[in-house]
Structure 1
Amino acid sequence: MKDFLALLNEQRWDDHRYYHHCRINQSLHLLSACCFVVAYGLLLVDPAWSALLAWGVSMTSRQAGHFFFEPKGYDHVNQATHEHKEEIKVGYNLRRKVVLMALWALSPVALWLQPGLFGLFEPATGFGDYLHQLGLLWFWLGVGGLVFRVLQLAVIRDLRTGLAWATKIITDPFHDIQLYHRAPLQLLRGERLDPALWPRADGHNAGNGEQTA
């Protein structure tokens, strides 16, 4: 258990230091995390509506932060290129996320063009039924994406790495709230990049004062 927790903390730290430099991204992650917590509560009521909130708000805001606001040049603080970070990413890197988000975006189109989706559901009798069926599709897409990557990591690395990553993903909303609850205020103060994760003009890391050049 001690080794598992150490691996979990390592994955969390790598994710934060490599992929959350921008305060806009951090703020979007805070929004995403709060909505995910509500979605977790909705799971006890209706998984379909939980998935609609999780995918419709939480995932879109979270991934928008990564795709549109994170710096993708050379990471001087971590001495790593963007390509290197993508290569060693444990979970879904940007390339894998494109595939996952494409499946998410195509799901409502497929369900609309093929009511019932080839017998998977009874054809929807109204827009409410359609939304409920879409929510169930998105719910199983999320479960499938999680399970698929765990099994993939078990093959290319080991099962413990996959389970640690799954634990990280499930608990990320609570961890993100802890990490980024001040990000919107810091952004309003004009702090675009997290000083602990970005070098100053003099080549030093403002967060810990270490040389980055």
Structure 2
Amino acid sequence: MSNFRAHLAEQRWDDHRYYHHSLVNQSLHFVSACTFMVAYCLLLVDPAVASLLAWGVAMTSRQAGHFFFEPRTYDHVNQASHTHKEAIKLGYNLFRKWVLMSVWLSVPLVLLATPTLFGALAAPAGVMGYLRHVGIGWLFLGVGAIVVRMLQLFAQYDVETGLVWATKIVTDPFNDFRLYKSAPLRLLKGERIDRREAA
């Protein structure tokens, strides 16, 4: 168990130090973390709405931080190039994220083209019915993305690496809340890049 925790701490630290220098990115991760925590609570009550919130707000703000605000120049703090960081990233690097976000965008388009998903679903009742179908589709996508990448890590490394990564992904909102709760205020004070080490 101690090895699992050490491995989890290492994955979290690598993710933070390599991919969260921008305080705009950290602030968006804080928004994402808060939204994900609300979505986790809603998951037991209304999975479709929880998924719409998670993908529509939490994931878009989170990925916008990575795609648009995180520096891709040479990482002088960690003495690593962007190419090197992408090559060693265990989870979803930017290429895999582009693929995932493309599939995410395709879900509402497919359901718009075939609202019953070729007869597999009941016909949606108006716009809300359509949105609920999209939410459930995104929920399956989210779970599937975690399971598929975890299985890939099982094959590429070992079972523990895959389980640690999946645990990290599921618990990221709580960890991000803790790490980045001060980022919005620091951003408002004029800071742009985080040069502090995480506690």
TM-score band, normalised by shorter chain:
over 0.9
* Distance of 1:115 and 1:59 partners within structure 2: 24
Runs of 4+ that moved beyond 3 A: none
Higher relative contact order (CA 8 A, sep 6+): 2
* Distance of 1:121 and 1:71 partners within structure 2: 43
**CA positional deviation for 1:196:** 2.0
Letter in 1 for 2:104: W
TM-score (norm 2): 0.98
Corresponding position of 1:204 = none
Corresponding position of 1:87 = 87
* Distance of 1:115 and 1:88 partners within structure 2: 40
**CA positional deviation for 1:120:** 2.2
Paired residue total: 198
**CA positional deviation for 1:125:** 2.4
Residues 1:177 and 2:189 aligned together: no
Corresponding position of 1:20 = 20
Query: Any stretches of 5+ residues in structure 1 without a counterpart?
Result: 198-206, 208-213
Corresponding position of 2:55 = 55
Q: Which moved more, 1:119-128 or 1:50-59?
A: 119-128
**CA positional deviation for 1:123:** 1.7
Q: In the TM superposition, what whole-angstrom CA distance separates every residue of 1:182-201 from its partner, at most 9, and x where no partner exists?
A: 0000001110000226xxxx
* Distance of 1:167 and 1:115 partners within structure 2: 34
* Distance of 2:183 and 2:196 partners within structure 1: 13
Corresponding position of 1:124 = 124
Corresponding position of 1:156 = 156
* Distance of 1:41 and 1:194 partners within structure 2: 31
Query: Any stretches of 5+ residues in structure 2 without a counterpart?
Result: none
Residues 1:77 and 2:84 aligned together: no
**CA positional deviation for 1:124:** 1.2
TM-score (norm 1): 0.91
* Distance of 1:61 and 1:120 partners within structure 2: 31
Letter in 1 for 2:89: K
**CA positional deviation for 1:26:** 0.1
* Higher radius of gyration, 1 or 2: 1
* Distance of 1:125 and 1:181 partners within structure 2: 40
SS at match of 2:196: helix
**Identity across matched positions, percent:** 62
**CA positional deviation for 1:129:** 0.7
Residues 1:194 and 2:197 aligned together: no
